[in-house]
Structure 1
Amino acid sequence: MLVDRLCHFVGMAKQPHYIKEWRHFRGYTQEQFAERVGVTKSYVSKIEGGKRRYDQPFLEAAAEVLRCQPADLIVRNPADPDGIWSIWDDLRPAERNQVVEIAKTIRRTGTDG
C-alpha cells in the first residue's frame, strides 16, 4: 500500500544529532559509551553513522551517561566554542545575569542589526 511505503520512507529520514560529538566531549570510546548506555558498540556505531535511528529511550539513557539533556544531543554541538550554550556554560552566575539583561535589552529595543 502506498501509505505504508510513504510512512516507512518518512520514518527512515535521517535524524540529525550530536551524539558522537557529546561522546567525544565526555571522553568515551564507542565501546565505553555503549556499555554505560546498555547497548552494543555496533548499535552506537549505526546511530552515529546515520544507519539506524535513535529513539527516545536511547536518547534518555545516552543523555544520562553524557550528563546533559536529551534535547542537547539533538540541537547542541558541545564542540562549538562559539555556540551560545558553550559560552553560557562557562559563565559564573553573576555573568549569566548580565547576559540575560543584555538579551532583554536587545529584545526590548528591537535592534535588527
Structure 2
Amino acid sequence: MPKRIALQKPRQRRRTFFREWREHRGLTQEQLAGRLDTSVASISRIESGTQPYTQDVLEALAEALMTDPASLLMRNPADPDAIWSIWDQAKSGERQLIEELARSVVKTGTKG
C-alpha cells in the first residue's frame, strides 16, 4: 500500500500590495498583463496570493508599476496618512525638514 501523505494547510502569507499599486497607476489587469507578456489569470492569481511569485516576477512587476520591489511588498500607495505618502508629496525643502525632525525624534525619544 502506498505511503499516505498528509496535506498541510497552506501557510498564511504576508500581505502584498500588488493590486493597490496597479490601481494606483491606473492600470487594469489586462494592461498590466500586456506589459509583462503574461495572462490576466496569472496577474489575478498573483494579486490574490494564490500564485507564488519569483524574484524575477517581483522585479518585473515593480518595473511595470514604476516602483521598487520592496514597495510592492510593504507600501500601500493608497494610504494617504502613511509616512511614505507624506514623503512622496513633500517638496525638497520639506523633505529636509522631515528628515531633521525624524532624526531629532529618534535621538531624543520624543513621544507624540
Q: So what's the TM-score if we normalise by structure 1?
A: 0.86
Are 2:61 and 1:48 aligned?
A: no
Structure in which a larger fraction of residues adopt helix = 1
1:13 to partner: Cα distance: 4.3
**Counterparts of 1:9 and 1:65, CA distance in 2:** 33
Root mean square deviation of aligned Cα: 2.1
Q: How many residues are treated as equivalent by the alignment? A: 109
In 2, are the aligned partners of 1:31 and 1:41 still within 8 Å (CA)?
yes
Q: Which runs of 5+ in 1 are unaligned?
A: none
51-60 or 92-101: bigger deviation: 51-60
* Larger Rg computed on CA atoms: 2
**Counterparts of 1:112 and 1:89, CA distance in 2:** 24
* Partner-residue secondary structure (3-state), 1:59: helix
CA displacement 1:53-73 (0-9 Å, x = unmatched): 122111100100111000000
Q: So what's the TM-score if we normalise by structure 2?
A: 0.87
In 2, are the aligned partners of 1:15 and 1:53 still within 8 Å (CA)?
no
Q: State percent identity of aligned pairs.
A: 44
* Partner-residue secondary structure (3-state), 1:42: helix
Alignment of 1:32-111 (within 5 A): 32-111=31-110
* Partner-residue secondary structure (3-state), 1:17: coil
35-44 or 69-78: bigger deviation: 35-44
Q: Which runs of 5+ in 2 are unaligned?
A: none
